[in-house]
């Protein structure tokens, strides 16, 4: 796998020109912003900074988002020019999150564990009204997430761009995950994989990865990527995913009336 060329395509498809249907893209020489049009939280997905002016650009972005009263996440990547950007953002008041390994799989060469027919009870969830109870019963128990309404809305409004799967064990939904299919990108992406503790070690997580990988390949996507936590990284590595970068989410919390 040529990770350098894949990384370049990833930057183009998922950062420089990321598909964000509810956002306005704003680009400068150093920054690509995605300004949320429906909620006061936005993103910087790409930045090209050097030490000589990095702090000035950081202050500029804080001022910009504070003026429009948006919090925002500045997602940094280890392959960018400025390796100490997370530390710099932390000094400017950002909350620096945990490192995540950006892992990629070439769908043209699926390993046997992902190419074989899925034998677990894995179900595609197509009814938006089923998403909220599913997330409450699985993902919120594992991660404490509370995105039921947003996820249900996405499935209702753009069913071709997101899919939810659940794996059942002992008659209950024991594992759940989703996949995004952005138009115009070579990359589909995995999100949210979670398994209830009592049902781990039964291959449910792998079954959900396999189901999503097979569907992504059937839809014509070339690559599958995941921002892998420390827990999921060794699992997806065993399934053939290769690390192409390390991302760190850095979050600025807006203060009302701040300029």
* Per-residue pLDDT tens listing for the chain (259 residues): 899 999 999 999 999 999 999 899 999 999 999 999 999 999 999 999 999 999 999 999 999 999 999 999 999 999 999 989 999 999 999 999 999 999 999 999 999 999 999 999 999 988 888 877 777 667 665 555 556 677 788 888 899 999 999 999 888 888 888 999 999 999 999 997 888 888 889 999 999 999 999 999 999 999 999 999 988 899 999 999 999 999 999 999 977 555 4
* Residue 179 near residue 189 (C-beta atoms within 8 A): yes
Do residues 47 and 147 both lie within one domain?
no
Number of domains in the chain: 2
Residue 35's alpha-carbon distances to 25, 42, 45, 217, 259, in angstroms, are 6, 5, 11, 31, 17
Do residues 142 and 209 both lie within one domain?
yes
Do residues 82 and 133 both lie within one domain?
no
What's the pLDDT score for residue 172?
Answer: 86
* Residue 101 near residue 207 (C-beta atoms within 8 A): no
Q: Model-level pTM?
A: 0.90
Do residues 133 and 230 both lie within one domain?
yes
Q: Residue 50 has which token pair?
A: 């050097």
Q: Which residue has the tokens 């990629």?
A: 104
Do residues 94 and 153 both lie within one domain?
no
Q: Is 120 inside a domain boundary?
A: yes
C-alpha span between 140 and 24 (Å, rounded): 30
Do residues 220 and 137 both lie within one domain?
yes
Do residues 138 and 202 both lie within one domain?
yes
Q: Is 196 inside a domain boundary?
A: yes
What's the pLDDT score for residue 259?
Answer: 44
Do residues 130 and 235 both lie within one domain?
yes
Domain that holds residue 155: 112-239
Task: State the CATH number of the domain containing residue 69.
Answer: 3.40.630
Task: State the CATH number of the domain containing residue 209.
Answer: 3.40.630.30
- CB-facing half-sphere around the CA of 34: CA atoms within 13 A: 17
Q: What percent of the chain has pLDDT over 70?
A: 94
Q: Is 105 inside a domain boundary?
A: no
Residue 232's alpha-carbon distances to 4, 85, 258, in angstroms, are 23, 25, 38
Q: Is 52 inside a domain boundary?
A: yes
Nearest to 75 by CA among 59, 96, 54: 96
């Amino acid at each position: 796998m040529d990770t350098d060329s894949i990384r370049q395509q990833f930057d183009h498809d998922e950062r420089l020109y990321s598909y964000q249907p509810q956002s306005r893209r704003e680009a400068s020489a150093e920054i690509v912003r995605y300004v949320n049009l429906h909620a006061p939280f936005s993103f910087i997905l790409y930045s090209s900074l050097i030490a000589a002016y990095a702090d000035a650009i950081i202050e500029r972005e804080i001022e910009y988002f504070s003026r429009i009263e948006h919090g925002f996440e500045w997602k940094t990547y280890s392959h960018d020019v400025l390796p100490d950007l997370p530390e710099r953002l932390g000094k400017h008041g950002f909350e620096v999150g945990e490192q995540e390994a950006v892992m990629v799989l070439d769908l043209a060469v699926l390993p046997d564990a992902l190419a074989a027919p899925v034998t677990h009870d894995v179900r595609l969830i197509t009814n938006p009204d089923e998403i909220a109870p599913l997330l409450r019963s699985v993902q919120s128990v594992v991660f404490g997430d509370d995105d039921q309404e947003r996820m249900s809305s996405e499935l209702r409004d753009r069913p071709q761009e997101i899919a939810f799967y659940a794996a059942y064990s002992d008659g209950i939904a024991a594992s759940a995950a989703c996949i995004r299919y952005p138009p115009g990108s070579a990359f589909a992406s995995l999100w949210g994989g979670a398994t209830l503790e009592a049902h781990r070690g039964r291959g449910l997580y792998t079954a959900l990865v396999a189901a999503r990988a097979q569907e992504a390949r059937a839809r014509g996507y070339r690559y599958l990527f995941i921002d892998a936590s420390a827990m999921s990284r060794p699992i997806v590595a065993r399934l053939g995913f290769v690390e192409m970068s390390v991302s760190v989410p850095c979050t600025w919390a807006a203060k009302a009336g701040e300029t």
